A and B are shown apart, each in its own frame.
Chain A
Amino acid sequence: MQKSFVMRNPSTLVFLGALAMFTILVTVLAEGSGAGLISTSFVKTLGKTLCLALIAVAMDLVWGYTGILSLGHFAFFGLGGYMIGMWLMYERTRGIVEASLAEAKIPPTAQEVTDAIGNQIFGVVGSSEFPIIWSVADSLALQLALVVLVPGALAAAFGWLAFRSRVTGVYLSILTQAMTLALALYLFQNDSGLRGNNGLSGLQNLPGLDHVAQSTVSIWFFWASAFALALGYLFAAWMVSGKFGSVIRGIRDNEARVRFLGYPVETYKLFLFTVTAMIAGIAGALYYPQAGIINPAEVAPIASIYLAVWVAIGGRGRLYGAVIGAAFVSLVSSWFTGGQVPDVNLGFYTVKWVDWWLIVLGLSFVAVTLFAPKGIGGLFDLWSEHRSPNRHGADLGPSAGSLQEKEAVE
């Protein structure tokens, strides 16, 4: 008899409970909705962290479970942000333009309003024409659809080309880096239609809701991010719990064997790559309104590498590990780089954490990889007495020098 989903995955219930408690706690303490102990900017930081946790869950699906080390998922995250940013910027500019034109003696025509919006948005890159990609920017519903469709389409096209040619391992990682770099370089151009290196800004202001204080808006986005993370986590836990999970872990451990069992490995990879790109897009669409600005530097190759570092430090191959890694490392990172950590004066040299943080992060990444391959999430095993077989390095086959057992990853 098959046990229910929750019974088979008690960690999912624990995680959702912890997330709910955290959300309530922050709401009670926040400036906009409660005691005022947590500032609005910190609420935004926490909300953004939840979005990063969501993309980390996606990364864990694609890397930790399926073994595809994608170093390009931040491209999808950024695209999601751009798609929602287009609507936010268009509608808000329209509000401003209409207010200023309302004072004119002759009521403006629709064309005049559109031209004025174009001038406002694209003046900074020396243009006033709306590029074709902005043609549905006035429709929230369509732009929300594009939040998942554009990253999904890019991932499907890229994945179809890469997986069909059986590109795997480090070569695939390099290709994904090239993809995100190419996207960043394209967006940096002024004629890309997305304002070049200026990016889209003022995203924290919701059109038509100017009277609502940012402290309240921040709580809304915080809830939305928590809700999206909960849904994404549940979806991911469901995906990896059944036979689909067996197959993708099989692909990670021995791709050829899965193929000879009759499973179309390339289709599975493509499916997973595309679905996780869509999750990344949703995470980005919630992240950038809280950040307020998006520019092409956000999809630079380094961002996707950070993502892999979070998942590695948190513990890949388990969903809560990815969440813990993303939350812990990104919060510690913003603490160190925010200049709040006191400098250490060694007499002959002063350690400035803003400069040294990257080195600390790099060293801890190396240390985790070498000494604790299960990451922070592995600590939970000590508590639950859950061990994987220790046969590391033992010969599998009958003769010396035959295939060595791969590290048994939980």
Chain B
Amino acid sequence: MNSLLEVSGVSVSFDGFKAINNLSFAIRSAELRAIIGPNGAGKTTFMDIVTGKTKPDEGRIIWGDLSRSLLGMSEAKIAQAGIGRKFQKPTVFEDQTVEENLVMALKSKRSPFAALFYKRSPGDMRRVEELAGEINLADQLYRKAGELSHGQKQWLEIGMLLAQDPQLLLVDEPAAGMTPAEREHTTALLVEAAKTCAVVVVEHDMEFVRRLNCRVTVLHEGSVLAEGSLDHITANQEVIDVYLGR
């Protein structure tokens, strides 16, 4: 196995409710993967576990070339290790400019002293401009993030993830609330990102998943129900019963 992230036998329960039940999942580097499943299937909890927000009751999470265990690491340490996360609601720092948002996300030392004495280097600023170009916000650099439209905020957040220079991106419903044109650009962004790092997309919209054109994992009641190409999945009777058919 040559996987970047390997989750095996993970379970977690909240007040007796098994949100994740013996889940196993693996992804290689530079792979694009979509996760679908009905509400309450454990998609967001899965992301919470990988990013360190929720501690699993049992199971192993092995990360990277060095096969480090992510269990017991803080959220900040996991993020520094190269896992970026995009929330379902666009969460950018609304009070600050697009530029400030991106500069904050740029890969750099994260300690308070490093931040206090940080100087914007020409290299960093070139990277910020480059990213702003990719996310269609090049001419909005000095606007406050709070003034952006919903779709632009989603892009800004994706831009912030890319600025972190991650090895794995966890993206929760990136296309929600976007216009068709915006969706198309988002698809292109994710497909482009997946050329250099692993990308996991949680999405409800089957049309969007089809356009991503990648392997699909179906979650149901906290464990993997099926995995394969979208055509393979849509032909699976079990998947139709619990998810697609409804």
Contact = CB atoms under 8 A, between A and B. Distances in A.
B85 interface: yes
A254 B95 CA distance: 11
A314 B189 CA distance: 45
A337 to B, nearest CB: 37
A88 to B, nearest CB: 34
B147 interface: yes
B93 A244 contact: no
Interface string A228-261: 0000000000010011101101100110110111
Interface of B: 51, 53, 74-76, 79-80, 84-85, 87-96, 100, 103-105, 110-112, 115-116, 118-120, 144, 146-147, 150, 153, 160, 164, 176-177
A403 B146 CA distance: 14
B144 A389 contact: yes
Q: 9 nearest interchain CB pairs?
A: A398-B177, A262-B79, A244-B115, A243-B118, A262-B80, A259-B75, A271-B112, A398-B176, A264-B76
A262 B164 contact: yes
Given A247-B115, A259-B74, A272-B112, 15 more contacts: A242-B118, A243-B116, A243-B118, A244-B112, A244-B118, A249-B93, A249-B96, A256-B53, A259-B79, A262-B80, A388-B144, A388-B146, A389-B147, A398-B176, A410-B95
Nearest to B143: A389
B74 A264 contact: yes
A2 interface: yes
* Interface size range of chain A in the complex: 35 or more
Contact of B76 (A254, A262, A398, A402): A262
A239 B176 contact: no
Contact of B104 (A250, A391, A408): A250
Interface of A: 2, 239, 242-244, 246-247, 249-250, 253-254, 256-257, 259-265, 267-268, 271-272, 388-389, 391, 396-399, 402-403, 405-406, 408-410
Contacts of A262: 76, 79-80, 110, 164
A244 B176 contact: no
A257 B84 CA distance: 10
Given A260-B84, A396-B150, A408-B146, A239 B93 contact: no
